[in-house]
Amino acid sequence: MGSDSASKETQLINDLKEILLPWEKHFIDQIKQAYLACIPDELRKVWKDKTPTPNSLEEILAELQDIPQGETYIIRFIGYLLVDTEISKNIGSDLNQLGKQNANNFSVLLDKLKHEKRELEKDQDIPTYLMISLEKSSQSQNLYYVNAWFVSHENKGNFDCKKNQRCESLKLENQKIELRKIPLLLEELMNEVNRNQYLNKNCNQPMVILFLPFNLLNKPVDCYKYGERTIGCSFQLVLRYKERLKNKYGNEKIWHYKWKKLHSQDSNSKMIISADCEKLYAELQKADSVCLHSIKPLSKKNIDDLNSSATPVAIWLRNIPKKINYQDELNELIKDFQQKTHYLPKLIHEKRKDAVDIHKDNHIGHHLSILWEDPELLLPHIDYE
């Protein structure tokens, strides 16, 4: 590379860093996805075992600068950033100006990438899944056996949980962990996902699904630190109750019926029940009852009632924020949920992201938990026959 070209590329990287650095905390997931999208598959294969996917803006920019003819990929990186709606809304004009200053026909490239995104979004109805199962260890009350699997976006439609098809078992350095080590576990799993190229530019960021025993369901796992943010900000995170997956669970038929009802267009036919309801058990048993909501942690009886009624969804507050009208905020969330029920994990994710720079007493996003029992997505290692 000539000195003029190298100097221009260095200046481009510096200008890009100046624009992105103040927003790194908010947009690190989109920045990672743009990086993965702009790197050609053959180059990623060469680098597959070299290093894990970079996890910070500084690491990503350094990797881009190391690529032969890196300026081309940096321009594509800027383009992929701009097709993200949130990034475009906040810093789009600066990025667009930088792209136009450093590339001929940048507008043509941008139109091409936007068209690609629209085409991909036609096939983006099913997210990617990272499934993690924790089982209590008999050797220590603080240790849990861990298993993890990855189900890719493009394979979900063919996934057969009973036959363990289209599902990648993820290798772990340690099969037993403490709950507080969940962030390190997630980092290890995401590194393996990226190293093995399970995520590609056609895939969404995975939804993290934690299959837990009852004693962990009210733990604030979404608030655990993950890099510069929290797990709940970095991923759509939902919980599952492991007891429902036992092979003697006899309510599969009504479970599937309620899950289908949950995704129907008729919002008036779906019952969302408050945990304060006088006849809670009877209400949950009704065929149209799809969700329980509560302003306090779920009790074992609540969970047992959800199980016996095959109700697929629950939303609750682990703690009550002290300085806001939490009931109004929860009611607003429930109202949104009634209109677009299958988007609830995304709605919860948005609430958690909104809360990131706000004190825990001032936002319900720090306290929300969601049980999301998808009957079509089960743990591969359990015998369901």
Tokens standing for residue 110: 């941008």
Q: Given this model, what pLDDT does residue 316 score?
A: 95
The answer to pTM > 0.75 is no
Q: How far apart are CA 27 and CA 315, in angstroms?
A: 26
What are the tens digits of pLDDT across the range 296-323?
999 999 999 999 999 999 999 999 888 7
Sequence spans of domains, the chain: 2-123, 129-372
Q: Given this model, what pLDDT does residue 162 score?
A: 46
Q: Can you spell out the DSSP letters for 124-172?
A: -SS--EEEEEEEE-SS-TTEEEEEEEEE-GGGGGG-BTTTTBT-EEPP-
Q: Given this model, what pLDDT does residue 50 score?
A: 52
Name, in order, each residue with C-beta under 8 angstroms of 251's C-beta and a sequence gap of 6 or more.
Answer: 307, 308, 309, 310
Q: CB–CB of 222/232 below 8 Å? A: yes
3-class secondary-structure state, position 225: strand
Name, in order, each residue with C-beta under 8 angstroms of 249's C-beta and a sequence gap of 6 or more.
Answer: 243, 307
Going by the DSSP 8-state scheme, the letter that residue 313 receives in this structure is E
Compute CA distances 161 → 157, 158, 211, 311, 335, whole Å: 11, 10, 15, 21, 33
Q: CB–CB of 297/316 below 8 Å? A: yes
Burial degree of 141 (CB within 10 A; 0-12, 13-18, 19+): exposed
Q: Given this model, what pLDDT does residue 204 score?
A: 66
- Residue 93 has, within 13 A of its CA and on its CB side, a CA count of 1
Q: Given this model, what pLDDT does residue 163 score?
A: 46
Q: Given this model, what pLDDT does residue 45 score?
A: 56
Q: Number of helices (H) and strands (E) in the chain: give both, helices first.
A: 14, 12
Name, in order, each residue with C-beta under 8 angstroms of 42's C-beta and a sequence gap of 6 or more.
Answer: none
Residues of the chain with pLDDT under 70: 1-5, 41-53, 70, 120-127, 153-166, 197, 199-204, 247, 265-269, 381-385
Place of tokens 């608030």: 223
Name, in order, each residue with C-beta under 8 angstroms of 84's C-beta and a sequence gap of 6 or more.
Answer: 27, 30, 33, 34
- Residue 276 has, within 13 A of its CA and on its CB side, a CA count of 5
Q: Given this model, what pLDDT does residue 265 score?
A: 62
Q: Given this model, what pLDDT does residue 268 score?
A: 64
Going by the DSSP 8-state scheme, the letter that residue 205 receives in this structure is P
What are the tens digits of pLDDT across the range 57-80?
999 999 888 887 757 889 999 999
3-state SS record for 187-198? HHHHHHHHHCCC
